[in-house]
Structure 1
């Protein structure tokens, strides 16, 4: 039984699915099954109950995983302390693409990236939170909405920004010159909108457009619906439609925020808080050092 085997068993314990763990660990389900059986034989203890083709961690398994996680953590701390500075660590970062696409490069400048093999995992924030909690990702991007009722003992967080939203169009839009001033209700009614089917942050339906606009109080002319952010942005950039977007997306994509009429202030969500999260009890020394750099870089940029 070695540290690498312990990591794999911990992963299987979290997913309780050999196929899913095999895919994430770039190995085969058969190889993982052999590791589990070999470990159970060496301990003379069954860690998983077999139910048909499925496996389920039992009480002895839960005790084993608790001790195994501590051993893996101590091993990572030891290697981090004595390993050469040239050592490159593997790191997974999970979160919605609407956050990752715009914030990843801000927290990980090129000088930092050279120290790591970085696996970018685009997923909704609920899944990102679960992966960080279970040690399947070292870092995660989420909004404050996902962190309701989550204790600091489960995950810790760095506040990256408070993001406001605005109606946005491209300067390629046929009515751009008319719309860049204060937007009137009459102009708003004529606009064609592109909207997501589900929230780009959590993947759930949040109202008609799922982007935070109060369509129940002021319906829009929604002509396009997308299940992915990138084609939605392409439609807006070409001037075909307007969209309701976070201001950092508008700025990064070279779009233009429409004038803020009084009705806009009444129909919009006030803000969304963006956080970087990690699990302190599973953080090796190299991750703690990286988080110190991230915190320092963010403070310097403010």
Structure 2
């Protein structure tokens, strides 16, 4: 058996015609017939019957077909794995990231990578950390940036790339901004603008207050931090936002000892053979990491 002969057999079985199979494989009909005849000789069985103009599988052919398909699939996977071992500076890189990470941290990293590897076509897909985690776990994605994942899967490898500090902030006109000193208890007296309870961000803040025996008056307008920032800027309440998102319209409250942080990670599946572009990008991130931009100056 050899791969070209197996492909000829599978194509002829699918098309029920040697002539159509030969056209699809860009072979002459005698050339395709020769490959199949050689396969039949090696197996010592007849794989096809000719009935008029139709070519149909024999019982032996029907039995052998699923095995041939599996062999070809294994051969294709082997070829892809070997190809992935070669340094690939061309091809497609499919990268998932949260909107927040993409907007605030990825631009300089991607810009430098594109300049060094112009032959790689990068497709960036904005997904939540939960979505990326699910797709990576299912082997449907190569690389994904996320904030700390909902849970650590043993099948995934997590590379910490940035510790992101979260700050307590209010509008410059908010009453908390006018106080010379602020405590966590003071924050509980005002509405908190936070993401939904199913997010790690929300649990991180709630745990901080729970450890102090404090309860929050949480308003849940959006899971998007940009929307929370806008609402905080209007004075509707206080929020916890990454340092990079503190704008001139906001005041960072003097609660630095209590400011939590979360880890931004790049994840991939340990058992998925990464493509050449993906391995290049992974090495690039390991070497350069993400950088924390300066917050907008007052």
Q: Does 1:274 align with 2:264?
A: yes
Residue pair 1:199, 1:211 contacting (<8 A) in 2 also: no
> How many Å separate the matches in 2 of 1:133 and 1:287?
17
Whole-Å Cα distance in 2 between the matches of residues 75 and 261 of structure 1?
Answer: 50
SS of residue matched to 1:163:
strand
Residue in 1 that maps onto 2:181: 182
Query: Which residue of structure 1 aligns with residue 285 of structure 2?
Result: 294
Query: Are the structure 2 counterparts of residues 111 and 261 from structure 1 closer, same or farther at C-alpha, using a change threshold of 3 Å?
Result: closer
Task: Output the CA distance in 2 between the equivalents of 1:135 and 1:200.
Answer: 23
Shift of 1:66: 6.0
Q: 1:100 to 1:300 in 2, by over 3 A?
A: closer
The Cα of 1:255 is off from its aligned counterpart by 4.1
Spell out, residue by residue over 1:51-83, the C-alpha distance to the aligned partner (whole angstroms, 9 max, x if none): xxxxxxxxx97x9766643332323445x55xx
**Count of residues in correspondence between the two structures:** 228
Corresponding residue for residue 23 of structure 1:
none
Q: Return the offset for 1:235.
A: 0.8
Q: For 1:177 and 1:116, how far apart are their aligned partners in 2?
A: 48
Any conservation in 1 of the 2:160–2:263 contact (CA below 8 Å)? Answer: yes
SS in 2 for 1:225: coil
Cα shift readout 1:178-221 (whole Å, capped 9, x = no counterpart): 14x431366424433212224455xxxx8xx5553246532233
Partner-residue secondary structure (3-state), 2:237: coil
CA 1:111–1:145: 2 relative to 1, 3 Å: closer
Q: 143, 147, 151: which one pairs with 1:139?
A: 143
Q: Is 1:74 aligned to 2:82, yes or no?
A: yes
- The answer as to whether partners of 1:195 and 1:210 remain within 8 angstroms in 2 is no
CA distance in 1, matches of 2:78, 2:131: 24
Compute the TM-score of the two structures, normalised by the length of structure 2: 0.59
What TM-score, normalized to structure 1? Answer: 0.58
1:161 aligns with 2:162: yes
Query: Per the alignment, do residues 131 and 271 of structure 1 end up closer, same or farther by CA in structure 2, a change over 3 Å counting?
Result: same
Per the TM alignment, residue 301 of structure 1 is displaced from its structure 2 partner at its CA by 8.8
Unaligned runs of 5+ residues in structure 2 are 5-61, 294-298
Gaps in structure 1 of 5+ consecutive residues = 3-40, 48-59
Cα contact 2:142–2:274 (8 A) shared by 1: yes
Name the counterpart of 2:254: 259
Secondary structure, counterpart of 1:239 in structure 2: coil
- Is residue 212 from structure 1 mapped to residue 202 from structure 2 by the alignment? no
Q: Distance in 1 between matches of 2:153 and 2:273?
A: 20
Structure 2 equivalent of residue 236 of structure 1: 232
1:7 maps to what in 2?
Answer: none
Q: CA RMSD in A?
A: 4.1
1:115–1:183: structure 2 CA closer, same or farther, 3 Å change rule? Answer: farther
Q: Secondary structure at 2:236's aligned position in 1? A: coil
Q: What is aligned with 1:123?
A: 127
Aligned to 2:35: none
Q: Which has the larger radius of gyration?
A: 2
Instruction: Map Cα deviations across residues 131-158 of structure 1 (whole Å, 9 max, x no partner).
Output: 23444322112344446352xxx34333
Question: 1:127 deviation in Å?
Answer: 3.0
